[in-house]
Structure 1
Amino acid sequence: MTGMQVLAIDAGQTGMKVRVEGADVVFRGIDTHEPLLPQLADVVHGAIARTGSTPDIVTAGISGLTDRDADAALLLSLVRDTGVRAASLAHDSTTSFLGALGDARGAVVAAGTGVVTLAVGQDAVSRVDGWGYIMGDAGSGYWIGREALDAVMRAYDGRGPRTALTDPVRALWPDLPFAYIDLQAAEDRVRIVASFAAEVARLAAEGDPVAQSISDRAARELAHSVSASLNNVRRHDDERFTVCAIGGVFRSPRLHDAFAAELTRDRYDVTLVAPLGEGIDGALALADLSPQHPLSSAVHRAVA
């Protein structure tokens, strides 16, 4: 696709970033209660209108993309009037990997409200977790927030140690015994729970033992997912891998340091590195992804 103009989309639930002709524009995030592809088509039309561009291909990394929604041909039909002639769609774990590590072999763990780990080996790909807040997402912002709320209520009952986490929870729900009722009734309860991850990070840095314990356990979960993903793609005992940790959860110094220590404690084969770029860079890279690359099979393509 070299030489073609690319309109790349990094589509998340909190916002959608579009890059075209070197410029970035931002749109509201995916509404998970509405069909996905018409929303992407609206973003393509909006980005073209705002930038005056004439893209040849649309590429997108999409949070939570399923095979059911990954109909690149349908997206093309929805943007036929723009002159776009090709489309490539992928789960955002794929574009997060390409943005962070490029063509390197290794693993990227992306931990925000949820978490997913993707490993790429010589000839195999392994996705670990990313199974949502009910069935998985171990070590994610939601997981951390849920552990914080559990710790606060244990302290309230006398089943656990006192913790400074009680204060920010009381700030939202002054009457703690009724907090669970308000939370269960809230439409944005996942976001509310995950928001306490920032308080855990802050109070862990200030020395609260409970917040530190939660951070350390989250780090172990995240490191375990990385190790599992790399084991799934390993072909030789002497293989070495590059690992990149991205997402808001890793802004916690306590958690990041504990993750690095846990990951490398018993492993000689990993090197933890900073990301080369972001998810939008990975979405852009879809346009030139080689058919021989292990991740190519995870990309849904269509040509008009």
Structure 2
Amino acid sequence: MAITNSKDAGFALALDGGGTGCRAVLVDPDGQEIGRGQGGPANVNSDRDGALAAILDACQQALGGRVGADRVTAVMGLAGAEVSQAHDWLVPQLPFANARVVQDAVTAMVGALDGEDGIVAALGTGSVYSRRLDGKDIVVGGRGPIIGDQGGGNWLGRQLLARALETADGLHDRSPLMAEVLDKMGGVSGIITFAATARAADFAAHAPLVIQQADDPAARVILAEAERSIAAYIDRLQPADAALPVAFNGGLGRIFAGRLAGRWPMTEAKGSPLDGALLMARELVRQTA
């Protein structure tokens, strides 16, 4: 049923979007959830048109005719937002009364730390790292699915297929994982054909093979490189005088939190990137009331 009271105000919508998909949640002025939606890949740097369609789809599902978009304030945390200047071109295409678009690392940090100092490693299709310390925020890493996002699902999938090609060329022993990948993909020609048109989400779909067969010699090499990169970014954000607690989130966060346990103080993420976007949306409602 649509909400028709003209005095109702302060509806907040949050959206979290990355290379695999996007999720949206709508809450009423009291913070009670009244709608959810989900859509396809939403990396605004690598596929603007596809991301916009996915975002609008997820938002429309969340709205569901319950409230007009002109009475909603939205905050969206999106992969690629910082390099594509998404706030400038995307906001005018959104139907909301007020909207803000930020890098997904920002909403991941807000959700995970809930205002406290710390470091957040957000590991999903991509990877990005953020730090909050004495009221100042720093974001590093990411850089997109082609030459960045080391340790994320897209990167793991690319490394898996690249190593399969090297194995076919005789550079590595044919481990059980490599044999499985080459068989499933139709050999060298199948991998090359796939890679020619594959998107980040398509590569990331192969990442579970690496995780599930972590003891395979090929998987061990790939995971060791992922750990090296993740640790290097976290070390970059650690202050010199005292180690900050590190929170991992995203689809691969728990996996690498376990694999890297003991290197720094660790803390559980207090919330997800979607939670962070919602906190920011509700704060924006208060600021613009």
Question: TM > 0.5 between the two?
Answer: yes
Could you tell me how far 1:95 is from its partner in structure 2? 0.5
Secondary structure in 1 matching 2:252: helix
Q: Residues 42 and 182 from structure 1, CA distance in 2 versus in 1: closer, same or farther, beyond 3 angstroms? A: closer
Number of residues of Structure 1 aligned to a counterpart in Structure 2: 268
Q: For each residue in 1:64-123, what CA deviation from the matched residue of structure 2 results, as whole angstroms up to 9, or x when unmatched?
A: 113632039x736852xxxx5432321111001111111111111111221111112114
- Taking the aligned partners of 2:25 and 2:51, their CA distance within structure 1 comes to 19
Match of 1:7 among 13, 24, 33: 13
Q: Which has the higher contact order (CA 8 A, sep 6+)?
A: 1
Contact map agreement 1:76 1:85 (CA 8 A) in 2: no
Residues 288-303 of structure 1: pairs in structure 2 closer than 5 A: none
Could you tell me how far 1:279 is from its partner in structure 2? 1.4
Contact map agreement 1:220 1:259 (CA 8 A) in 2: no
Instruction: Return the letter of the residue paired with 2:189.
Output: F
Identity, % of aligned pairs? 27
- Taking the aligned partners of 2:93 and 2:210, their CA distance within structure 1 comes to 46
Is the counterpart of residue 68 in structure 1 residue 80 in structure 2? Answer: no
Is the counterpart of residue 275 in structure 1 residue 269 in structure 2? Answer: yes
- The aligned residue for residue 18 of structure 1 is 24
Contact map agreement 1:108 1:118 (CA 8 A) in 2: yes
- Taking the aligned partners of 2:144 and 2:76, their CA distance within structure 1 comes to 21
- Taking the aligned partners of 1:91 and 1:106, their CA distance within structure 2 comes to 18
Task: Give structure 1 stretches of 5+ with no counterpart.
Answer: 265-269, 291-301
- The aligned residue for residue 74 of structure 2 is 58
Relative to the length of structure 2, the TM-score reads 0.79
Q: Residues 8 and 258 from structure 1, CA distance in 2 versus in 1: closer, same or farther, beyond 3 angstroms? A: closer
- Taking the aligned partners of 1:130 and 1:96, their CA distance within structure 2 comes to 13
The alignment yields a C-alpha RMSD, in angstroms, of: 3.1
Q: Residues 48 and 260 from structure 1, CA distance in 2 versus in 1: closer, same or farther, beyond 3 angstroms? A: same
Residues 201-220 of structure 1: pairs in structure 2 closer than 5 A: 201-204=211-214, 207-220=215-228
Contact map agreement 2:13 2:281 (CA 8 A) in 1: no
- The aligned residue for residue 249 of structure 1 is 252
- Taking the aligned partners of 1:184 and 1:287, their CA distance within structure 2 comes to 38
Task: Give structure 2 stretches of 5+ with no counterpart.
Answer: 1-8, 28-32
Residues 18-97 of structure 1: pairs in structure 2 closer than 5 A: 18-21=24-27, 22-29=33-40, 30=42, 32-34=47-49, 40=55, 43-52=58-67, 55-66=71-82, 68-71=85-88, 75=91, 78-79=94-95, 85-97=97-109
